[in-house]
Chain A
Amino acid sequence: MGYVYSFSNASWLPTAQADTTAMTNAKYMALKAPATPAMQRVTEVFLGGENTATNIGVMVFGRHSTDATTPTALAAPADIAALNISSVATARGTQYTAAGTGPQRSVSSGHLLTLSGNFFGAIIRWFAAPGGEIYYVGGSAPNDEVSLSGFTNTTAPQISSHVHFEDL
């Protein structure tokens, strides 16, 4: 078992991000694998709705067709936490919510996981069976980055979320 981490973000406001268009800063949670040879995998995605009125949204998790340029260092309320005692304190790779130019979600491989709900109180959780994780490897797009972001009809519900990933 590799090093396991939780990439979390508290009380953020995702909005609809179109495919193959640079995503807006602070409207996504992206993970980039370290330079090749390296492999990481996503084991769990969690969304907790905190909106104070009905707000139905669609969140998608998938690959990028174009990587971000110059990802910005992660800052509060986003955070990385090690989930097992053997994990090194600093996760390899890059986890970011903002960049000089945002990443672009792939049309055909950018929707590996679609989660919708009413974020006025919804709790949404997906976790993979062993072997069913979403992998990404170091190198270049579309292999090396994945993200969680809003899709059509997502109008800034307040949510907190985490993505568990494993460095292999």
Chain B
Amino acid sequence: MPSLKTHEGYLLIDHRGSPGTSQVPGGTMLEAASFTCPHCSRVIFKNPRRVRPRGYCRKCDQNVCDLPGCNLECFPIQQMLHLALEVPDQPWLARGARGEILFDPSLIRRSY
């Protein structure tokens, strides 16, 4: 059975030889799982202490970031890549500040 963990990337912040920061103090290191939002491509580092549920897209079968646009509609980046090749000069890969799409959605219907 597929697991959401198969979509996890990896972050290392190694301050073992550094005075460090308040988040990762000197002499310590942080290893964290990350995931890339399938809608907007933002990389999210997973906070292990988070208790509220993460957004989830049933079409993508992946967690999504907290931006409202990414939780509201499914415009997967993989589909946008093909559209960008097919119909250039539209902001297929960019998203607005709230995760909203910036391209004309009617182009999807015309394309497929």
Which residues of chain A have a CB within 8 Å of any CB of chain B?
A: 36-37, 39, 49, 54, 56, 63, 65, 106-109, 111-113, 115-129, 131-140, 142-143
Known interface pairs A107-B97, A129-B35. Does A139 touch B21 (Cβ–Cβ under 8 Å)? Answer: no
Please judge, given known A-B contacts A142-B91, A143-B91, whether A137 and B12 are in contact too, CB under 8 Å.
no
Pick from B6, B14, B43: contact of A113, CB under 8 Å: B43
Nearest-neighbour CB distance to chain A for B32, whole angstroms, equals 10
Highest count of chain B CB atoms <10 Å: which of A56, A107, A113, A125:
A113
Q: Is the CB of A135 within 8 A of B93?
A: yes
Q: Are B97 and A120 in contact (CB under 8 A)?
A: no
Interface residues of B in 1-21 (CB under 8 A from A): 6-15, 17-21
A122 to B17, CA, bound (A): 7
**Interface residue range, chain B:** 35 or more
Q: Across the two chains, which residue of chain A brings its CB closest to B23?
A: A116
Which residue of A108, A124, A143 contacts B97 across the interface (Cβ within 8 Å)?
A: A108
Residues of A within 8 A of B11 (CB): 115, 124-126
- A121: chain B residues within 8 A (beta carbon): 15, 17-19
CB distance from B69 to the nearest CB of A (A): 10
Q: How far is the CA of A111 from the CA of B99 in the complex (A)?
A: 12
Given A107-B97, A122-B18, residue A132 in contact with residue B36 (CB < 8 A): yes
CB-CB under 8 A for A129 and B95, given A124-B12, A135-B41, A135-B81: no
The residue from A49, A54, A129, A140 contacting B7, defined by CB atoms under 8 A apart:
A129
> How far, in whole Å, are A139 and B77 apart by their CA atoms in the complex?
16
**Extra pairs beyond A123-B17, A129-B36, A135-B77 (7, CB < 8 Å):** A56-B21, A106-B94, A126-B9, A126-B34, A128-B34, A138-B88, A142-B93
Does B53 reach chain A (CB closer than 8 Å)?
no
19 contacts between A and B (CB under 8 A): A36-B84, A63-B93, A63-B94, A107-B97, A108-B97, A109-B93, A113-B42, A115-B11, A118-B20, A121-B15, A122-B14, A124-B14, A126-B34, A127-B9, A129-B6, A132-B34, A134-B41, A135-B77, A143-B94
